[in-house]
Amino acid sequence: MSLHTLVGLVVALVHASPVSAIQPTLMDNALPQQHQGHAAPAAADTLDAHHADAHSEADSGTHSGHAMFSRTLDSGWRVLGMSQVFPVMSRVETAEGGQLQGSQLLLTQPVAMLNLESPSGRFALRFSPNFEFATLADGERSIGGWGEGFIDSRHPHTAVHEFMASVNSFGDGVDWSLSAGKGFAPFGTEDPMSRPVLKYPTNHHLSQILERFTLNGVVLWSGWSVEAGMFGGSEPESPWDLSNFDSFGDSWSLRVARRLGGENAWGTWPLEIAGSWAEVAHEHHGTTEITSLVNGQVRLDTQHELGRLYGLVEASRSDNPGDDDFWSVLAEARLTRGPHQPYARVEWATRPEYERDAASGAGFLRYDHDAHIEGASRWNLWTVGYGYTASEGGVSLRPFAELQWAQVSDDARGPDVTELFGARRAWGLSLGARVFFGGDPMRMGTYGVLDPMTRMSRGPASMHHP
């Protein structure tokens, strides 16, 4: 995986015509036609109709909605997807000084998200290369963040973020699929990469189980979905680490969701309520430990007279051996009105503390991935931001500004956070641009018949669930 590969992908997407998979006013109005037996248009006609609807919405003053790169091959198979990269300048300040202060100028979240699908959508291959190994080797400073050897900094994701093959069945009222490969286990919420806030939340390793070798199954009927997965619990230790293949089968997860409001043209539902459970095996210095995880969420994504409204409320908890239990409660929202995208997030959480590699400098942001937890801290994080869509189409430029405020306090398990950080409050400012090639960001974390790209490419013919 090289930067040359990324450049080639970007060029291909820029020169391709994006195909819209629009934002509807009320897609529920179209559902009765499907139930009455009206024939679905051919795939190309469906996508052209979506494109026309997108222009209609743009004329009425709302954002033109989802664009997705799509190219049909001679065999009838289709390539779908998008790519992105975010140039960002970030600064963290504390009133009292201390170890949280610092600045960065970097390219974050350079990733592509591609589907290769058969003409009927029965077979799909997801490939998401991630290039943070080249742009984020030393991590991304992130107040309260932790995981995979980085702390108060976000680790680079693995070079092969996703490589999942799916076999799908779209029936009359019941859809199901089996998916296998390297990707997300069916647990918790979608990858923060596809959500409004740039900086990842503290709960990233409580609310997602990602970059595992996993076998997932899903059944979707009458607005209900049940997903189950079996995977390897070990986390990767570097962008090129594939060793958790050896632990495949030692962990499992389950996610049950109720989807309400009728499927929309983004390949999702306006309201989703879900609960997830998992048991994840980890090996520490030759001893296997089991962590139990639970997550509950309510997700909103719908069109309103004000614009497109997105909201998420979730609660997560982990039960580890001994007294090492952690929790998070998070709420976030965004309004998209024309080119304007104000957003906000608040999170209350506890997180583990480890012995740091050094008392100051870059080593303060690193720890031994296999080390035992030495304590905990409590975090209150508030984030507000504003994004603006300056251009759309094959290349979409979206400047943004994001402000974060954090307060850290002591947990009964120690350590003294004032002694550790030298401060209890911190401010973070990020200025930059989200640059998308070939399409808008897509939800990441579901496969098969729940994959938004697969459902969008099938068009209204897939919208047969009440």
Lowest mean pLDDT among 38-42, 194-198, 337-341: 38-42
pLDDT for residue 66? 57
Contact at 8 Å (CB) between 113 and 81?
A: yes
For range 242-256, the mean pLDDT: 90
Burial 350-383 (b: 16+ CB within 10 A, else e): bbbbbebbeeeeeebbbbebeeebebbbbbebeb
Q: pLDDT per residue over 184-224, tens digit each? A: 999 999 999 999 999 999 999 999 999 999 999 999 999 99
pLDDT for residue 17? 35
Q: pLDDT per residue over 385-426, tens digit each? A: 999 999 988 899 999 999 999 999 999 999 999 999 999 999
Structure tokens at 77: 């198979």
* Domain enclosing residue 155, as ranges: 3-462
3-state helix, strand, coil in the chain (%, to 5): 15, 50, 35
Q: How sure is the predictor about 278, in pLDDT bands with cuts at 50, 70 and 90?
A: very high
Alpha carbons 445 and 297: distance in angstroms, whole number: 14
Lowest mean pLDDT among 56-70, 345-359, 416-430: 56-70
Q: Using alpha carbons, list the distances in angstroms from residue 391 to 186, 308, 357.
A: 34, 18, 43
Burial, 287: exposed, middle or buried (Cβ in 10 Å; 0-12, 13-18, 19+)?
Answer: exposed
pLDDT for residue 68? 81
* Nearest to 457, CA basis, from 179, 269, 270, 267: 267
Mean of per-residue pLDDT scores for the chain? 85
Q: Looking at residue 136, which CATH number applies to its domain?
A: 2.40.160.10
Contact at 8 Å (CB) between 138 and 120?
A: no
- Residue 275 CA to its chain's centroid (Å): 17
Alpha carbons 98 and 376: distance in angstroms, whole number: 18
Q: pLDDT per residue over 42-55, tens digit each? A: 333 333 334 334 33
Q: pLDDT per residue over 80-101, tens digit each? A: 999 999 999 999 999 777 889 9
The domain tally of the chain equals: 1
For range 144-154, the mean pLDDT: 95
Lowest mean pLDDT among 32-41, 104-113, 397-406: 32-41
Q: Is 438 helix (H, G, I), strand (E, B) or coil?
A: coil
pLDDT for residue 325? 93
pLDDT for residue 426? 95
pLDDT of 35 higher than 70: no
Q: Partners of 396 in the beta sheet?
A: 436
To the question of pTM greater than 0.75 for the whole model, the response is yes
SS3 track for 124-160:
EEEEEEECHHHHCCCCEEEEEEEECCEEEEECCCCCE
Q: How sure is the predictor about 267, in pLDDT bands with cuts at 50, 70 and 90?
A: confident
Structure tokens at 236: 């990767």
Residues 6+ apart with CB under 8 A from 255: 186, 187, 188, 225, 226, 227, 228, 274, 275, 276, 277
Q: Partners of 93 in the beta sheet?
A: 427
For range 2-28, the mean pLDDT: 37
Residues 6+ apart with CB under 8 A from 322: none
DSSP string, 81-113: EEEEEEEEEEEEE-TT--TT-EEEEEEEEEEEE
Q: pLDDT per residue over 116-134, tens digit each? A: 999 989 999 999 999 999 9
